[in-house]
Amino acid sequence: MLEPTDLDNSDFLQALLEGNRGECSKIVHAHLNNQMTVHDLYQKVIVACVEYIKPDLLAISLSIYSNIPVFEKMIQKIREQKPNIPILVGGQAFRRGGQDVIARYLNVNYLPELNSVDAYIKIFN
């Protein structure tokens, strides 16, 4: 069995990009067996993707309001790697609140409708 200490983001991301579902599954199970929550694992995967792909713009949709603290941790981790990347945020979670969390971060914009995302991307380009 793989131990989480033997793994890093690049191992998971490489397996993910290669479509190696078996290796991805082993890595996921190793992390979850080490008491990592699914939320922490998703955060780690997204941060790894940002680190590897180095996008010019990032868009995140969040559907569950109670996941806003996890979302904020993810924004902090992304900011460590790419402090100036524009981040677009939307999803059902923010219909109940959470805009105060978004407001804490420069260049993180709440876009409540999909049409506004398209407009932002056109201006961004």
User: What is the C-alpha to C-alpha distance for residues 29 and 21, in angstroms, rounded to an integer?
Assistant: 12
pTM exceeding 0.75: no
Q: What DSSP assignment string belongs to the chain?
A: ---GGG--HHHHHHHHHTT-HHHHHHHHHHHHHTT--HHHHHHHHHHHHHHHH--S-EEEE---GGGHHHHHHHHHHHHHH-TT--EEEESGGGGSS-HHHHHTSTTEEE--SHHHHHHHHHHH-
pLDDT, block means (10 residues), the chain with 125 residues = 48 69 68 64 77 86 88 90 91 89 92 83 81
In the chain, where are the structural domains located?
Answer: 55-124
